[in-house]
Amino acid sequence: MIKNGFHFYGRKITVFLALLAFLLPTSIVRAKDSNYMISAANPLAAEAGRKILEKGGSAVDAAIATQLVLTLVEPQSSGIGGGAFLVHFNKASKKVQTYDGREMAPAAVKEDHFLKNDGKPLKFYEAVVGGRAVGAPGALAMLKKAHDAHGKLPWNMLFEDAITLSEKGFKISPRLHFLLNRDKFLKTKEPARSYFYTKEGEAKKAGTVLKNPELAETLSRIRDGGIAAFYTEEIASRIIQAVQNDPTNPGNLTEADLANYVAKERAPVCASYHENMVCGMGPPTSGGVTALQILRLLEKAKLSETKPGSLDAIHLISQASALAFADRGMYLADRDFVDVPVKGLLDTGYLEGRARQITKGNVTLPFEAGTPPKTSGLLSPDDAIELPSTSHFSIVDSDGNAVSMTTSVENVFGSRLMAGGFILNNQLTDFSFRPKTEKGLVANRIQAGKRPRSSMNPMIILGPDNTLKAVIGSPGGSRIIGYVTKTVIGILDWNLSMQDAINLPHHINRNGTLDLEKETAITAQKEKLEGLGYNVKVRTLNSGLHGILIRNGILEGGADPRREGVVLSN
């Protein structure tokens, strides 16, 4: 059948939707006659992006419209009060560029920011809720930088859907209602309590029309005045007031911190895998380097001869992931502050040596970090906690250009503070709470002006002829790396469709416990994996993979059935 310009193929499948505990059907999506496509985590946001593509806008133009609507309809995950990473492919030049919109720590911050008076670290939610955890938001500055380089439509044309929806309202989705109902902290903070909850403190029900005139005003100011309206004018003042005047956990973000924020274009990190080139973001995110390490460690493992979800496949991927995560915890951080040995971590000789630790027999975890070439200084592994509240969308425009963008406020509903109608991030808790141990300084310790390490992993895959092959990414905290890597393996090793690769059951090993996705076929491998030495936990693994695959000139989209996203095209 055809729906919204798509051709749907294959049998209908049903999967467990994490967080909501209800069943959601999905289907493989191919757009034979399409010349543009978007896969995003919310139907309203995806439609906003599709409209921009329909008007002849670029992938970056569509990304801006999509993010603005996500600010409204998916406030638990991302928004203009947070940060993002964007990977861009230019078809004409066959060039991959990456843009860093990660939040920055305030200039007044000290390395003991998350330590109590006795030197012990705060508990996670003691740090998260309130102004202490808010960094200078970077998403808007990054999108403006990308738009200056790759935009086709005027900036002010990209705000229409977000402003209209903010004024007229949108229906609260079942997923948003579930998260509002579950959260213990949002209702303790105004204006979030009045906006999301009834007078009795109950989460507004799914289907309730939620209007946000304050966000409409904010977006109108940014539409007309550019990002200066956000970083240096009235909106900036509202952000600082919310952060500094929080009654229980005030922060030290200032208007100068906002005015001094700079989005950066950074060199992509790329590595070959089975004659394809896989490209992602480098530091301050760990996502690109760690995912590429996993793939390179597995290149000679003959995964194509294994079956997805088999004991052999899980065993091989788990060991490669554990080795890469050992290096991640030791070395990866903001390279503007720390000498991150990116080339050394991806060095062929180094990875060949690390790969010799991968065995078909029993394993003992955790692995120790390796010593890549040109490593300097004594470092200590960090203790940063990254929880899954993020969003991702993938876009291909009519010119064949692409965007892979992952965007986040960090924890669910971020700091729980609102200003100007949007949620403020808590990204500073992605730093290690302890700045050092007896082994040395932690690379990802908090410092003034520094960007916290991330696991966001937007990726673009180029084929052997350097043409666009796939666009992929996911939310999911530090498990993002595993979700995305699994999908890349599904595409490149097992020749799956984008949707089938996304649907594969998750198994994640971050150099410790091996997580198997609850209510999937791979849970049958639990006892055998325990027999190999793994500590296995069966749990809900709530990814939000959204991707596009190009095969034989056909755009083929996939949206993660574990969330509420869709694929749209012309």
Residue 131 C-beta-side C-alpha neighbours within 13 Å: 21
160, two tokens: 């229409």
Owner of token pair 């992993």? 457
Distance CA 284, CA 270 (A): 15
Per-residue CA distances from 297 to 278, 317, 318, 370, 494 (Å): 14, 9, 11, 13, 17
Distance CA 547, CA 41 (A): 11
Q: Which among 285, 375, 390, 429 is annotated as catalytic?
A: 390
Whether 371 is catalytic: no
| Residue among 476, 63, 259, 20 at smallest CA distance from 71 | 63
Per-residue CA distances from 479 to 72, 262, 390, 482 (Å): 25, 28, 12, 5
Owner of token pair 């908090």? 446
Work out whether the CA dihedral 38, 43, 49, 52 comes out positive or negative: positive
Tell me if 542 sits within 8 A of 562, measured CB to CB: yes
Distance CA 213, CA 78 (A): 19
Distance CA 345, CA 351 (A): 7
| Residue 524, SS3 per DSSP | helix
Q: How many residues does the chain have?
A: 570
Per-residue CA distances from 27 to 192, 322, 427, 502 (Å): 36, 32, 35, 11
Q: Active-site positions?
A: 390
